[in-house]
Amino acid sequence: MIDPHKFPIARKWPAANPDILQLYSFPTPNGVKASIMLEEIGLPYEAHKVTLADADVKSPEFLSLNPNNKIPAIIDPNGPDGEPIGLFESGAILIYLAEKTGKLLGSNRSSGSRSSNG
């Protein structure tokens, strides 16, 4: 359950179904990355349109979830250990969702390793 006291963003963009992942985004190249990932992995989510206008991305409610005032951001009410978690930055969201579901991750995740054929 998403507590509006812990996540003030829920006051401005209330969840119709607070038991599923909440996506706060806008259809920009970075904004759609999270929604594409959510569609691909089949995780249920509720989308909230956060425009790029200062009234949205610089609102106290949005800044409470992402102090960088950029979309996308998510709240997963079923985060680690069953506790809600808020995340922002598209790369962090994509990695979190891949690790949470075990989908769209390669089997070799060592950093910086590359093979060369000569």
Other Cβ atoms within 10 Å of 50 Cβ, number: 26
The conformational region for residue 94 under phi > 0 = left, psi -120 to 50 = alpha, else beta, is: alpha
CATH number 3.40.30.10 is the correct assignment for the domain at 20-101: yes
3-state secondary structure of 56: helix
HSE at residue 91, side-chain half, CA atoms within 13 A, is 0
Domain segments of the chain: what residues?
20-101
Tens place of pLDDT per residue across the chain (118 aa): 677 678 999 999 999 999 999 999 999 999 999 999 999 999 999 999 999 999 999 999 999 999 999 999 999 999 999 999 999 999 999 999 999 999 988 776 555 544 445 4
* Residue 102 · residue 90 · CB < 8 Å: no
Give the residues across from 24 on adjacent strands: 48, 73
Question: What is the C-alpha to C-alpha distance for residues 27 and 31, in angstroms, rounded to an integer?
Answer: 5
Q: What's the whole-model pTM score?
A: 0.87
